[in-house]
C-alpha cells in the first residue's frame, strides 16, 4: 500500500501486511511508525531512537 | 513448541550450566564444551563444531538464505556464584551475554521445523568479545558471509539496536625539560601537559564523542617536575564521524613536546532500518505483545566488526538489563529469557516469510 509521509508529504511504500508498531525509514530521512487509524493504518514520525548504555 | 513450563525448565537448565562454567576471555574452553554438550543432548541442530580459535558453531537447515545468531561465550573477569532466586538467575554473564546466548540457542532450535527447508541457521558462540574480539575477527578472516546476523547482546528484550559507536585506543606521550617543583612557573610538568592535551581533545571533539582516561603514568613523586608522561585514553566515536575527525582533533590538541599514537580503531556501525531483519524482529515482538523500539548504543560490540564484513544486515537484540552488564549484580529473569527465546524463534519464521514475499513481488 502507498501512504503519505506526514513530514514531507511524499508517498511511502508500506507492506500490505504491516503491523502497527513497525518502523520504516523514508527517503526524506524521517523514521516513521505504522499506527492504527480506524480499521486501517497510517504513519507518524517515530518519537525517538532510544539511547542505550553499553554493548 | 514446548509448553511455557517446559521452555522455562529448558532455559533454566541451559542457563545454569552455562553460567556455572566461568569463562573470562581466553578461558572459554570449558563453557564451550558445556554448551556443545547441551546442544547435542537437548536441542535440534545437525552440526556442532568448534573452529581454530575456539568459537562454537551449531547449524541446521538448507536453502540459499542464511542467518547467524552470534553471541559471545566469554565474560568480563570476576567470578560470581550462580544463584536461582524465584524467577531470576544470577551469575557472571547472566546479562552480558550468556543469557542472550542461551535464549537464542534454544529459540533457534524451536524454529527448526518451520524454517529448515528455506533457511540455513547458524548459532555462533564467539570467544574473546570482552578482549580483542579474536573470535569475531576469525569469522572475518576466513571469509564467512551470512545474509543476516543477529548479535546476541542485552537490549532489554525490546530494543533492536541498529547503531553502535566506534572505539579507538589512543596513547598520548608528553615530554618536558624537568625543573624544581618549587618553581613550576619556570617549566611545565609533563603531567600538566597531558591534562592540557586531554582537555583540548575533549573540547575539540564534537557532539557524541566521549573520552575516558584508562591509564596515567607520570613522574615519580619526587622533587623534579616530571620529564615524561604517558596517558592512555579510550575514545568513542559516534555514527557520522570517523578516523579523520579523531586524527584531526588529536593533532589540534597537541602542544609542544607531546605526541600521540592510535593503537586500535574500530569504526562506528549503523544498519539499515528498512532491512528484512529489523522488520522480522519487530513483527515477532509485536506478536508477542512486546512493544519494540529502535536503539543506538553508546558502546561498541562485535557488530562493529561484522557489519559490512560478514553481513550487510546486522542488528543486536537480546534479553537482560544492559545497565547490569559488567557489574556484580548481573541477573536475568526466566520470563525475560522465555520471551526472548520465543522472539528469536518467531523472528526466523518472519524472516523466511518476508524473504518469500519479497521474491514473489519481484
Closest residue in B to A30 (Cα) is B273
Of A15, A19, A54, the CB nearest to B299: A54
Is residue A48 over pLDDT 90? no
B135 vs A47, more confident: B135
Give contacts of B301 with chain A, Cβ < 8 Å.
55
Of A21, A25, A50, the CB nearest to B159: A50
Q: What pLDDT score was predicted for residue B361?
A: 55
Q: What pLDDT score was predicted for residue B247?
A: 97
Task: Report the CATH fold assignment for A2-45.
Answer: Rubrerythrin, domain 2 (2.20.28)
Cβ contact B299–A46 (<8 Å): no
Cβ contact B282–A22 (<8 Å): yes
Of A23, A24, A53, the CB nearest to B322: A53
How close does chain A come to B180, measured CA to CA in Å?
44
Alpha carbon distance B211, B190 (integer Å): 20
**A vs B: CB pairs below 8 A:** 76
Give contacts of B291 with chain A, Cβ < 8 Å.
21
pLDDT digit of tens for each residue in chain B (362 aa)?
889 999 999 999 999 999 999 999 999 999 999 999 999 999 999 999 999 999 999 999 999 999 999 999 999 999 999 999 999 999 999 999 999 999 999 999 999 999 999 999 999 999 999 998 999 999 999 999 999 999 999 999 999 999 999 999 999 999 999 988 887 777 889 999 999 999 999 999 989 999 999 999 999 888 899 999 999 999 999 999 999 999 999 999 999 999 999 999 999 999 999 999 999 999 999 999 999 999 999 888 899 999 999 999 999 999 999 999 999 999 999 999 999 999 999 999 999 999 988 765 54
CATH code: domain B4-164+268-360 is 3.40.630.10
Q: What pLDDT score was predicted for residue A54?
A: 67
Cβ contact B325–A50 (<8 Å): no
Domain ranges of chain A: 2-45
CB B59 within 8 A of CB B144: no
Name the architecture of domain B166-265.
2-Layer Sandwich (3.30)
Q: What pLDDT score was predicted for residue A47?
A: 85
How close does chain B come to A46, measured CA to CA in Å?
9
Give contacts of A24 with chain B, Cβ < 8 Å.
273-274
Q: What pLDDT score was predicted for residue A55?
A: 64
Question: Long-range contacts of range B356-360, CB-CB < 8 Å, 24 or more positions apart?
Answer: B356/B118, B357/A15, B357/A17, B358/B276
Q: What pLDDT score was predicted for residue A10?
A: 95
Domain ranges of chain B: 4-164+268-360, 166-265
CB B313 within 8 A of CB B149: yes
The model's pTM: 0.91
CB B31 within 8 A of CB B72: no
How much is the ipTM here? 0.95
How close does chain A come to B307, measured CA to CA in Å?
15
B47 vs A39, more confident: B47
Of A25, A46, A54, the CB nearest to B297: A54
Cβ contact B297–A55 (<8 Å): yes
Alpha carbon distance B251, B65 (integer Å): 46
Tell me the catalytic residues of B.
74, 129
Burial of B11 (0-12, 13-18, 19+ CB in 10 A): buried
Cβ contact B159–A52 (<8 Å): yes
Q: What pLDDT score was predicted for residue B362?
A: 47
How close does chain B come to A5, measured CA to CA in Å?
15
What DSSP letter does each residue of B348-360 carry, written as one string?
HHHHHHHHHHHHH
Q: How far apart are the first and last CA of chain A?
A: 37
Closest residue in B to A55 (Cα) is B299
Amino acid at each position: 500500500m502507498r501512504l503519505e509521509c506526514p513530514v514531507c508529504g511524499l508517498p511511502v511504500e508500506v507492506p500490505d501486511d504491516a503491523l502497527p508498531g513497525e518502523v520504516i525509514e523514508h527517503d526524506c530521512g524521517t523514521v516513521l511508525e505504522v499506527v492504527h487509524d480506524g480499521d486501517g493504518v497510517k504513519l507518524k514520525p517515530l518519537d525517538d531512537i532510544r539511547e542505550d548504555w553499553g554493548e | 513448541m514446548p509448553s511455557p513450563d517446559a521452555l522455562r525448565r529448558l532455559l533454566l537448565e541451559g542457563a545454569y550450566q552455562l553460567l556455572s562454567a566461568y569463562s573470562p576471555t581466553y578461558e572459554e574452553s570449558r563453557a564451550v564444551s558445556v554448551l556443545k554438550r547441551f546442544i547435542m543432548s537437548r536441542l535440534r541442530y545437525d552440526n556442532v563444531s568448534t573452529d581454530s580459535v575456539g568459537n562454537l558453531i551449531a547449524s541446521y537447515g538448507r536453502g540459499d538464505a542464511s542467518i547467524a545468531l552470534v553471541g559471545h561465550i566469554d565474560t568480563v573477569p570476576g567470578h560470581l556464584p550462580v544463584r536461582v532466586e524465584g524467577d531470576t538467575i544470577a551469575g557472571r554473564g547472566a546479562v552480558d551475554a550468556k543469557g542472550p546466548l542461551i535464549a537464542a540457542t534454544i529459540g533457534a532450535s524451536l524454529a527448526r521445523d518451520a524454517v529448515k527447508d528455506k533457511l540455513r541457521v547458524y548459532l555462533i558462540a564467539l570467544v574473546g568479545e570482552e578482549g580483542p574480539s579474536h573470535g569475531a575477527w576469525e569469522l572475518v578472516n576466513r571469509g564467512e558471509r551470512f545474509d543476516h546476523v543477529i548479535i546476541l547482546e542485552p537490549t532489554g528484550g525490546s530494543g533492536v539496536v541498529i547503531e553502535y559507536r566506534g572505539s579507538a585506543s589512543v596513547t598520548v606521550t608528553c615530554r618536558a625539560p624537568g625543573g624544581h617543583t618549587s618553581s613550576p612557573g619556570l617549566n611545565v610538568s609533563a603531567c600538566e601537559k597531558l591534562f592540557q592535551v586531554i582537555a583540548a581533545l575533549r573540547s575539540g571533539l564534537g557532539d557524541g564523542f566521549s573520552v575516558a582516561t584508562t591509564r596515567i603514568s607520570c613522574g615519580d613523586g619526587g622533587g623534579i617536575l616530571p620529564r615524561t608522561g604517558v596517558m592512555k585514553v579510550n575514545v568513542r566515536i559516534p555514527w557520522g564521524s570517523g578516523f579523520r575527525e579523531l586524527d584531526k582533533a588529536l593533532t589540534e590538541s597537541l602542544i609542544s613536546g607531546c605526541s600521540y599514537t592510535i593503537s586500535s580503531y574500530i569504526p562506528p556501525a549503523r544498519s539499515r532500518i528498512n532491512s528484512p531483519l529489523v522488520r522480522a524482529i519487530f513483527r515477532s515482538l509485536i506478536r508477542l505483545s512486546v512493544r519494540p523500539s529502535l536503539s543506538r548504543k553508546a558502546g561498541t560490540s562485535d557488530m562493529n566488526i561484522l557489519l559490512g564484513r560478514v553481513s550487510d544486515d546486522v542488528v543486536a537484540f537480546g534479553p537482560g538489563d544492559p545497565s547490569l552488564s559488567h557489574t556484580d549484580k548481573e541477573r536475568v529473569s526466566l520470563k525475560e529469557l522465555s520471551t526472548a527465546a520465543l522472539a528469536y524463534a518467531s523472528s526466523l519464521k518472519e524472516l523466511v516469510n518476508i524473504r518469500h514475499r519479497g521474491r514473489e513481488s519481484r
